[in-house]
Chain A
Amino acid sequence: MMPYFTYERALRAEEVGPALVASGGRTRVLAGGTELVPLLKDRLVKADHLVDIRGLVDEMGGILVGEGGGLRVGALVTLAELARHPLVRANYRALAQAAEATASPELRNQATLGGNLLQLTRCEYFRSGAPCYLNGGQVCFAAEGRHERHSIYPRGTSVSVNPSDPATALLAADASLEILAPSGATRTVPIAEALKDPDHDDPRFLALGEGELIVAVVLPPGERASAYAKAMERADWSFALASVAVSLAFDGEGRVADARVVLGGVAGTPRREPAVEAALTGRRVDRAAVVRAAQAACQDARPLPGNGYKVELVRGLLRRALSGLASGSEGATGRASAV
């Protein structure tokens, strides 16, 4: 059961930030509720007051074609809307796949893209209320305990991994976040710069200032082939053990002109793999290139005692995703409709 709070519906996005700042952290933003409601029930976050922003669709909803052909995806767009949008499926296939691979249909109907990016770690210690760094304590229990699902690039005080499937695909797509400050000013930040490891002071995976709201996610134009591959223990409805998002631009001869390869579920942020990108660039995507590129992944990983399997897993996922984008294959056109 959640503790008591009061509730209001926000009428304008500009009003939300100042209200958050004024509350000194006791007001929380409610959108899809799929993250906040369980956190409140488990008393992992506290709130005296909720501001429901779900009605702010004029400012924060909708998928619009932006200048130069990219897309502006409102932060309130649900994962279901994102996954089925024809332009997302056509031009940002990995993102559509990542959205569709997230959670269950009901959760995708409820969860918003902004909320997905702002979800907290799925670390079982944190989620079960253990007094760890992210819960205000001074220890990371996972590092010494069970960490099969944790980072193979441990950094700082937490070994959490970013659990978001879309975040991984968005980094591969070189997306940016449109952020509204409490002052009313809007800034646009590449997602690569906004992503961060969670820490004691701020358990989130995005660097947002106090009272800042994600208003939209901006996808740059460009004809690229992309794919998302995800591994889970059961067949569906799970967070990724690891995932990869690959986005390739081909030259006129079917060679990779530009590669963006991102690993999910292995570190505190989705992680670009320059070594894999280099192994692909300038080549046709054939079996030899796929094998070589996959082997280049995670060379610098420092797994914990219980999660070394993720290195093998990432390489296998890369082979799978890249094989689907092999030169001349349907996936390489970037226009395949099947997700």
Chain B
Amino acid sequence: MPRIVRTQYEYEGRMREQITVVEEDDLPRWGREAKLAVVGRPHPRVDGHLRVTGAARYTADVYLPGMLYCKIVRSPHARARVLSIDASRALALPGVRLVLTPDDFPEGGPVPPPLSRDVRFQGEEVAAVVAEDEETASDAAALVEVEYEVLPPLLSWEKALESSEPVATARGNVHEGDPQVKERGDPERGFAEADLVLEETYTTQTELHNALEPHGAVAWWDGDRLHVWESTQSVSGVRRSLAKAYGLPEEDVRVVCEFMGGGFGAKFGPYRYTHLAVFAARRLGRPVRLVLDRHEENLATGNRPATVQTLKIGAKRDGTLTALELTAVSLWGAGGQGGTVAGPAQVQYACPNLRTTEYGVYVNAGPASAFRAPGYPEGSFALESALDELAHRLGLDPIEVRRKNFPKERPDGRPWSQNSFLEAYEVGARAFGWDRRGPAPDPREIARRREAGELAVVRGLGMAAGMWGSAGWPPAYAWVQVHADGTATVTSGTQDIGTGTKTALALVAAEELGLPVAAVHMRLGDTDMAPFGTGSGGSGTTSSMAPAVRAAAADARRQLAELLAGYFEVRPEEIRIREGRVHLAEGARPSVAVPAGGVALAELLRDVGPINVVGKGGRAPTPGDRAAASVAVHFCEAAVDLETGTVRVERYLAVHESGRVINPLTMTSQIQGGILFGLGYALFEERRLDPRHGWVLNANLESYKVATHRDVPRIETILLDRPDDHLNNAAVKGIGEPPVIPVAAAVANAVFHATGLRFRDLPITPAKVLAALREVARR
């Protein structure tokens, strides 16, 4: 029976609480002993044929009859006040239908104003034009004359902390005015007890998402009913927000995202462009399309914020941590929201004494957003580099230090549902050949031999670990309809953003229904006629949705068994369905004989005629008494080219435990993709800002460097398939984000091992490597 509960769950390093309707199920959990036929075997994507033929329709591919094109006019200044907007020349252009300015969106209205008079970052939306075609919209946007009073931008975090004048947001320059402080034990005493105290500052850069499909929306009002195609990680979330903003019942808003060209945290929405499209579509009575270009994408759609982290670690001679203190400043841009940089320091190791102080600082730059494990890759770079330094200084093996500080429970006191770090260290070290790792060289010797022409490339091994707490959450609902042709359709208002959600859920449904995967149709990415589905974030799509789909499929299976029981005149419990064929339990005495191989369900139902089997299922709350831990232990072999300063990762091993493996094929892809994200972050991805004007200098894919085919090392992944059945009925945890987390530190640690040089500033570019070599050569 559905009931209303107050539930707590971990989302991207923060605990969330909400009141929600959940449905319990009495299904036996898919624990370690469960024998599954479909789940756990590699399966190609069920929608693969659509993606390889060009038939898959992404939001950017939506062109409707009579559609108009909207183009945003953005501020070229990082901080300015709009004095006037003259749209007369734009309006005079044939084909221009509308010019929107901030006057169209009064403050305090139901819709957050999508156009600004107070510009707080370069690229902020100031006006918008709507025209018959994209070229005309673009010509018209160039003709909108905006007069600005240009103001000096606030760009440095030091000044932001000092200044009392609210510059980067109307409510101040520091998030909530104060840092977030978390403390346990007595850090001062911990440092006093330490044999070694290490204190270093680590800095990380701003990273841009650059999903290949840009953000965009197409809006169309069918009378009072709103249709929005949006490139989003949450169709149900966008529907809910739009319904609220426009005062509509949710049923009168349809949000569609059939295929999605990558999100990585920056695509939830609705965003300002969505509201502009919706507003213009209503005003003009025609569909309006607003798809951003790459430049806009890299100015205004979010980022992983830069950080400055000072980490102080105290340890005993044997590596036991006595105290950790982290002060982290994260540059959230103008009113953005970054992640929990202190997350790894708070939970990954059993350190009794801890203080973390986190500042979210606002500056006049593009707002930060969620980005694949928000805060964690940043925090992990500092923590996992520092542990490597600590191990080196103490003459200990880096893995030994990590083992020594393995947390038997989550430091907030809750036991883990399970935590596979120790197993992962062991499996990974063995597979990687960690024991052949010798000591790091003296960097002065490296520099000398380089200049003597004796040494051109050096190699080193490094490792790092990361963890992520995600086991899904309610609400998440699904319907499973079984058709008379023996196939089934799974429907939910969730979406597949490229992670393989459709395929994973098809396997779950097939398993529970006893149908072949090919007989399961997936209907996701459309809120019409679909129950609420979760957003694809926090590595929680599968762990939220799989239990719901499983429950819905089980419900459908029960209904089907009841139907078939009537046909055979047996009890429903005696009906078995395997691979689409109906069998009867041993000892059953049917009125109609069943051959040894069973009867095909399709064949059987063909005679029965139309059926009405619709199972529904919802997700139970995640129990709050245990903490979830997806773990990642990564090993890296890097080659440092001493002549050019370039770092190339040649070999990589990733060991992951995320509970039960649903589809090892797509899970491996997720891990490989996450590692590549991390490699780019470690080595070359960086949004560059002009330090005086706050302009983004590389808002493109030419000089914002994303890894190419040739930057890919040999990657081996080891999936520890360890069903974690305390958390949900499918025994699964999250995998989308964990593989990104430890990469940068693993690379930096390998570079140290190759050169004896420690890089505490990401990315590790040729310029930095060569400067460091020159520096040691002079010593």
Contact = CB atoms under 8 A, between A and B. Distances in A.
Given A4-B139, A146-B688, A291-B452, A237 B76 contact: no
Interface stretch (A54-62, A122-130, A217-225): A122-130
A233 B710 contact: no
B708 A236 contact: yes
Contacts of B641: 316
A1 B134 contact: yes
A19 B693 CA distance: 41
B692 A124 contact: no
Interface stretch (A67-75, A84-92, A184-192, A305-313): A305-313
Interface string B627-657: 0000000000000011111101000000000
Given A231-B646, A234-B705, A319 B453 contact: yes
A128 B703 CA distance: 11
Given A1-B138, A287-B453, A125 B773 contact: no
Secondary structure dominating the interface of A: loop
B371 interface: no
A232 interface: yes
Interface in A125-144: 125, 127-130, 141, 144
A280 interface: no
A236 B705 contact: no
A196 interface: no
Given A1-B138, A141-B690, A313-B645, A241 B766 contact: yes
Contacts, number: 123
A316 B644 contact: yes
Contacts of A312: 645, 770-771, 773-774
A233 B683 contact: yes
A294 B707 CA distance: 31
B150 interface: no
Question: In this complex, which of A127, A128, A144, A307 has the most chain B Cβ atoms within 10 angstroms of its Cβ?
Answer: A128
Given A231-B644, A319-B643, A146 B703 contact: no
Interface string B138-150: 1100100000000
B698 interface: yes
Contacts of B645: 231, 309, 312-313, 316
A252 interface: no
A199 B646 CA distance: 32
Contacts of B698: 124
B155 to A, nearest CB: 12
B699 A128 contact: yes
B683 A234 contact: yes
Interface string A273-300: 0000000000000010011001100000
A124 B295 CA distance: 13
Contacts of A148: 767
A125 B698 CA distance: 9
Contacts of A307: 767
Interface in B435-474: 450-454, 456
A202 B77 CA distance: 27
Interface string B748-779: 00000000000000000111101101100000
Contact of B695 (A3, A128, A237, A313): A128
Question: In this complex, which of A141, A231, A232, A312 has the most chain B Cβ atoms within 10 angstroms of its Cβ?
Answer: A312
A124 B453 contact: no
Given A1-B134, A317-B644, A309 B690 contact: no
A145 interface: yes
A236 B710 contact: yes
Contacts of B771: 308-309, 312
B139 A234 contact: no
A144 B705 contact: no
Given A309-B767, A313-B766, A1 B135 contact: yes
A237 B711 CA distance: 11
Contact of B453 (A234, A236, A290): A290
Contacts of B454: 287
B110 interface: no
Nearest to A289: B453
A238 interface: yes
A120 to B, nearest CB: 13
A26 interface: no
Nearest to A316: B643
Contacts of A313: 644-645, 766, 770
Question: In this complex, which of B135, B645, B773 has the most chain A Cβ atoms within 10 angstroms of its Cβ?
Answer: B645
Nearest first, the 7 closest Cβ-Cβ pairs linking A and B are A316-B643, A1-B138, A124-B697, A235-B710, A231-B644, A312-B770, A309-B770
Given A145-B690, A291-B453, 18 more contacts: A2-B135, A3-B142, A122-B702, A124-B697, A141-B690, A144-B692, A148-B767, A231-B645, A233-B683, A234-B710, A235-B711, A287-B454, A291-B451, A312-B774, A316-B644, A316-B645, A317-B644, A323-B456
23 contacts: A1-B134, A1-B135, A1-B137, A1-B139, A130-B690, A141-B690, A144-B692, A231-B646, A232-B646, A233-B683, A234-B705, A236-B710, A236-B711, A287-B454, A290-B453, A295-B451, A312-B773, A312-B774, A313-B770, A316-B645, A317-B644, A319-B643, A320-B644
